[in-house]
Each structure stands twice: as structure tokens, then as C-alpha cells.
Amino acid sequence: MASIELKRRIRWADADAAGRLHYPRIFEYFEEGEIELLRSVGIEFLSGSQEVREYDFPRKHVDAVFHRMLPLDAPFVMRVTVGKLGNSSIRYDYQIFSDDECTQLALEGSMTVVCVKNGRPATLPETLREALS
């Protein structure tokens, strides 16, 4: 299954008054990881193939478990992996490490998206399935 690692820092806008990652902002990082993973396998939603642009991918489920604090400006590595390809859904798994060696797990989570066409669940486009496999 497809996977990617991104190096980032906790941004000013993503920190709370105590100077640490404000918990709901992690889901924005998750979405960035999703788009970068798709881009890395050649899928571009806005400029990509007509086949993929006909679909929407709303979120069905997201979760996150925090293991250690991530302070303002802290570097981190986010690993994004396709955890499961269903008939009409994709589960992305996330691990965020507070060190470059990826030994200190700070956070883990997942996001499941459902493939929708014309407002109804649909089978994943073959182009997308092949790219993520």
C-alpha cells in the first residue's frame, strides 16, 4: 500500500495559548498528508483525470490518540499510509514522530473517506485503486 513521510513543524497558528499543538488542528495535518500521498502516486484531484474528478471523498471517521506533547515550532515527521482499501472507502493511517529517526511516537490516528458519486456511495475508481495499492 502507498505510504509517504513528511517533515513539518508545529506552526504558530496551530498552537494553543500554552504553546503546544491545539488538538483539532491535527486533522488539518491529516488532510495535508492525504493530499500529499495522493500527489506522490500521481493523483491530482483538481487537475487530474476526469475519472477521479467525478467523485467526492467526504470523511466518514477520524480519530487521533496523543502520546506526547508537540510544542510550538517543534519539528515532526508524519507518516501517512493507506491502511485499507475497501470497495468504496479508503482508510489512511497516520503516525507522527517527534524525532527524525521515527522512534518517538507522539501521535497516531486514522481517517476514513468514502467514495461518493452523485451523492451516493460508489466503487473506488480503478485509477485511484491502482495508484494506492
pLDDT per residue over 48-82, tens digit each?
566 667 889 999 999 999 999 999 999 999 999 99
**74-117: pLDDT as tens digits:** 999 999 999 999 999 999 999 999 999 999 999 999 999 999 99
Helix intervals (H) in the chain? 26-40, 50-53, 126-132
Count of residues for the chain?
A: 133
Kindly state the helix (H) or strand (E) to which residue 108 belongs, with its residue range.
strand 105-114
CATH number of 3-132: 3.10.129.10
Cα(100)–Cα(111) distance, integer angstroms: 24
Residue 123, by phi and psi: left (phi above 0), alpha (psi -120 to 50) or beta?
beta
